[in-house]
Amino acid sequence: MTFQEAAEKCIESKKHEWKNAKHAQQWSNTLGTYAYPIFGDIAVSDVDTDLVLKAIEPIWISKAETASRVRQRIETVLDWARARGYVEGENPARLRGHLDNILAKTAKVKRVKHHPAVPYKQISEFMEQLRERTGSSALALEFMILTAARTGEVRGAKWKEVDLTTNVWTVPAERMKAGREHRIPLSKRAVAILMSIQSNRNPEEFVFPGWKAGTGLSDGALLALMKKIAFGPYTPHGFRSTFRDWAAEEAYEFSNETVELALAHTIKNKAEAAYRRGDQLERRRELMAAWANYIDQQVEQQEQRK
């Protein structure tokens, strides 16, 4: 039995004790994001400390709360597998007397303020300040957040890539990190941003122009804007992580595959890549609409609390 198979059976057996049905999907999403790519197809009996660390150590500091949940869920799955006779010996994901001797203390990690990504539950506070700004950089940054795209993809966007009839932005292969064309469905708010831009929409014109005629925004334009907003020590690229964390914890109706497609991530598992068909454009359209709606609802609630 592989770890993923054990996890799926564990989740199925435990979901009846959870009051909220979305907990099961949260488990699947977080394990699908951080554990399965590392050891999902490995026999559950072969999961050791090194593999557990490989899954959680990269996010132990930057995403302390998420990392803690992932570790706990891995530990629970391995405990389930041991109780069923699939695993013997000590649990390699246990914290006390084991991983706590390797990793930084959780309580101290949670006090670290220098996270690269804005926590998704604070997105309303940031977005409220961002929407008070005007200019190409502010529009580009919000558009980037709504599309979960990379900074360079947004800065280099040209009107010829945007279809306002189907509301799809197609980034050509040569501008994508993975070297493959990427279609991005645009939410109503993302379309509204494009419609608000004063432009003749010449196909070769940059959507978000820079200071000089015929140029796009500079490399540091979005980072400079974030520094002016002074919300925290975050980076524009970090919003992809913000989106990913939101999807794992809140967008439980969407599969991990759909979210990975939205982020244009390369599939490392060759078997999975071989069986993937299509880019789930319409399903991703629903996902990006849900993301935009979440942001708007959080902003509205933030305003009501004032």
Q: Count of CB atoms within 10 A of residue 181's CB?
A: 14
- Of 70, 32, 34, 56, nearest to 255 by C-alpha is 32
| pTM, two decimal places | 0.65
- Ranges in the chain, pLDDT < 50: 110-115, 274-275
Report the alpha-carbon distance of residue 230 to residue 142 in Å, rounded: 16
Helix, strand, coil percent content, the chain, rounded in steps of 5: 60, 5, 35
**Structural tokens at position 152:** 């360079």
> Could you tell me if 4 and 47 are in contact, meaning their C-beta atoms sit under 8 angstroms apart?
no
Burial of 85 (0-12, 13-18, 19+ CB in 10 A): exposed
* Domains defined for the chain, CATH in brackets: 3-109 (1.10.150.130), 120-305 (1.10.443.10)
Q: What is the pLDDT of residue 267?
A: 61
Q: What is the pLDDT of residue 55?
A: 93
DSSP state of 183: E
pLDDT digit string (tens) for 234-280?
889 899 999 999 998 888 888 888 999 999 887 655 555 544 557 89
Q: What is the pLDDT of residue 115?
A: 45
In this structure, which long-range contacts are made by residues 129-134, counting pairs with CB atoms below 8 Å and at least 24 apart in sequence? 129/229, 129/231, 130/229, 131/299, 133/225, 133/228, 133/229
Three-class DSSP category at 2: strand
DSSP state of 62: T
- Of 132, 170, 168, 133, nearest to 153 by C-alpha is 170
Which residue type does 277 have?
R
**Please, what is the Cα angle at 122 between 128 and 69, to 5 degrees?**
165
Please provide the distance, in angstroms rounded to a whole number, between the alpha carbons at the two ends of the chain: 53
> Could you tell me if 137 and 221 are in contact, meaning their C-beta atoms sit under 8 angstroms apart?
yes
Q: What is the pLDDT of residue 112?
A: 45
pLDDT digit string (tens) for 59-80?
888 788 888 999 999 999 999 9
Tell the residue number behind the tokens 């390369």, with chain if given: 266
